[in-house]
Amino acid sequence: MLEVKDITVTYGPVVAVKNLSLKVQEKSITVLLGANGSGKTSTLLAIAGLNKISSGEIFLSGERIDTLNAYEIVKRGLTLCPDSKLIFQKMTVLENLKAGAYARKGDIKEDLEEIFKLFPRLKERTKQLAGTLSGGERQMLAIARALMSKPRFLMLDEPSMGLAPNLVKEIMKVIQAIRDAGVTILLVEQNAYSALKISDFAYVIQTGKIVLQGRSGDLLKDRRIIEGYLGG
């Protein structure tokens, strides 16, 4: 569904991503692993049209999208869910969810009900200011807001960051449920074990380059992953 071909992303003289290529199959979860500063978020921003690439090409369902503006990419069904700190903290939960549907037309009541089935806690807090939510609730809101655009392809940037282990499990179950509903997912994570357990395929990025790739189940047994990411 997604094909990234030899992209390079620079910030002035700094090369954040260099000749990076990856593919994401339809209705799968693909994870991009890497340490802080390795180029994971820069890659997501480039795919979403928020970072312009210096070279290379990006295709969604066969259509080239790296020449499009970010809002045009959203309209084609690709949505980025950023860090939960980027929710609208002075708006209510419901206002945040409605903001996620800005590019759509028509009634969103049915979509809200689907969101509340996935995140029951948000239904209890529709009138609450987003800035007063707990860390786990903020992350749920960030994902829910992204889903309100009805994406075919969802990118998640560090959804487990800063969460307690029980909440990490809850978020990972939600991600699986989203995939099972037919949404293709590209997941950026530092929690390698949790991400590999729920994903189908994985890439490892270091200093802006893909250095390792394979089926997630195979990488869970790979000595390089165990030593570098799983504390073995």
For residue range 171-198, list pLDDT tens digits in order.
Answer: 999 999 999 999 999 999 888 999 999 9
Candidates 38, 40, 19; CA nearest to 30 is 40
CA–CA distances in Å: residue 49 to residues 13, 36, 116: 20, 21, 29
With tokens 């290529």, the residue in question is: 21
Strand partners, 9: 17
DSSP letter, residue 200:
S
Query: What SS3 class is residue 95?
Result: helix
pLDDT at position 161, please?
Answer: 87
Per-residue pLDDT at 150: 93
In order of their start, the domains of the chain are: 1-77+154-159+185-232 (3.40.50.300)
List the chain pLDDT tens, one digit each, 232 residues.
999 999 999 999 999 999 999 999 999 999 999 988 999 999 999 999 999 999 999 999 999 999 999 999 999 999 999 877 789 999 999 999 999 998 777 789 999 999 999 999 999 999 999 999 999 999 999 999 999 999 999 999 999 988 899 999 999 999 999 999 999 999 998 889 999 999 999 999 999 999 999 999 999 999 888 888 776 5
* pTM score: 0.93
Distance CA 145, CA 147 (A): 5
CA-to-CA dists, residue 145 to 22, 41, 162, 231, angstroms: 26, 19, 19, 34
Q: Do the Cβ atoms of 153 and 2 come closer than 8 Å?
A: yes
- List the one residue out of 188, 115, 187 whose CA is nearest residue 149: 115
DSSP 110-161: HHHHHHHHH-HHHHTTTTSBGGGS-HHHHHHHHHHHHHTT--SEEEEE-TTT
Are residues 49 and 72 in contact, defined by beta-carbon separation less than 8 angstroms?
Answer: yes
What pLDDT is recorded for position 231? Answer: 62
pLDDT reported for residue 227: 82
Tell me what pLDDT residue 86 has.
86
**Per-residue model confidence (pLDDT) at position 209:** 96
Nearest one of 108, 106, 161, 115 to 136, comparing CA atoms: 161
Length of the chain, please?
A: 232
* Sheet bearing 2-11, strands edge to edge: 14-24, 2-11, 55-60, 63-64
pLDDT of residue 80: 96
